Structure 1
Amino acid sequence: MLQTNNINIGFIGTGVMGNSMASNLLKGGYNLYIYNRTKEKALSLIEKGATWKASVSELSKVSDVIITIVGYPSDVEEVYLGSNGILNNAKPGSFVIDMTTSKPSLAKKIYEIAKSKNVFALDAPVSGGDVGASEGTLSIMVGGDKEAFEHLKPIFELMGKNIVLQGTAGAGQHTKMCNQIAIASNIMGVCEAIAYAKNSGLDPETVLKSIGAGGAASWQLSSYAPRILKDDFKPGFYIKHFVKDMRIALEEADSMGLNTPALSLCKKLYDKLIAEGKEDLGTQALYQLYMD
Structure 2
Amino acid sequence: MKVGFIGTGVMGSRMAKRLLGNGFHLMVHNRTIEKAQPLIELGAFYSETISSLVSQCQVVCTCLSMPDDVLNVYTGKEGIIHTARPGTICIDFTSVGADTSKTIFEMTDAKKISYLDCPVSGGPEGAESGTLTIMAGGEEVAFHKVKQVLEVLGDTIEYLGPSGSGSIAKLINQYLVAVHSLAASEAMVAGSAYGLDSEQLLKVLKTSYGDSRILRRHMEQYVFNRHFTPGGAVKYVHKDVRLANQLLQEAGLNQFTGQLAEKAFQTAAEQGHSEQDMSAVIKPLEEDAGIIVKRKK
TM-score range, shorter chain: over 0.9
Q: Choose from 125, 132, 137 the match for 2:119.
A: 125
Alignment of 1:160-199 (within 5 A): 160-199=154-193
Match of residue 271 from structure 1: 266
Tell me what 2:17 maps to.
23
**1:67 partnered with 2:61:** yes
Does the alignment pair 1:141 with 2:130?
A: no
Pairwise mapping of residues 33-44 of structure 1 onto structure 2 (< 5 A)?
Answer: 33-44=27-38
Output the CA distance in 1 between the equivalents of 2:71 and 2:128: 27
Report if aligned partners of 1:250, 1:260 keep a CA contact under 8 Å in 2.
Answer: no
Three-state SS of the structure 1 residue aligned to 2:155 is strand
User: Per-residue CA shift, 1:115-158, capped at 9, x if unaligned?
Assistant: 22221110011111122122211111110111111221121111
> Aligned-pair distance for 1:57?
0.7
Query: Is the alpha carbon distance of 1:213 and 1:20 closer, same or farther for their aligned partners in structure 2, counting shifts above 3 Å?
Result: farther
For the pair 1:105 / 2:115, whether they are aligned, the reply is no
Is the 8 Å Cα contact of residues 11 and 33 (structure 1) preserved in structure 2? yes
Q: Once the two structures are superposed, what CA deviation does each residue of 1:65-96 show, in whole Å capped at 9, x if it has no partner?
A: 11101111111111001110011111221110
> Matches of 1:257 and 1:202 in 2, distance apart?
40
Alpha-carbon distance in structure 1 between the residues aligned to 2:65 and 2:136: 18
TM-score, reference length from structure 1: 0.93
1:253 CA displacement:
2.7
Q: Which residue of the partner structure matches residue 83 of structure 1? A: 77
**How far is the alpha carbon of 1:240 from its aligned partner?**
1.0
Structure 2 residue matching 1:76: 3-state secondary structure:
helix
- How many residues get paired? 286
Matched residue, 1:228: 223
Residue of structure 2 equivalent to 1:283: 278
Equivalent residue letter for 2:68: S
User: Quick one: distance in 2 between partners of 1:60 and 1:10?
Assistant: 7
TM-score of the pair, normalised by structure 2 = 0.92
Q: Cα RMSD (Å) of the superposition?
A: 1.5
Q: Which amino acid letter does the alignment assign opposite residue 148 of structure 1?
A: A
Instruction: Please list every run of 5 or more consecutive structure 2 residues that lacks an aligned counterpart in the other structure.
Output: 288-297
Partners of 1:213 and 1:43 in 2: CA distance: 44
User: CA contact under 8 A between 2:119 and 2:166: conserved in structure 1?
Assistant: yes
User: 1:290, 1:9 → 2: CA distance?
Assistant: 45
Q: Percent identity?
A: 36
SS of 2:146's equivalent in the other structure is helix
CA contact (8 A) 1:138 1:162 kept: yes
Q: How far 1:260 sits from its partner (Å)?
A: 4.6
* 1:16-48 alpha-carbon deviations (Å, 9 max, x no partner): 111111111111111111111111111111111
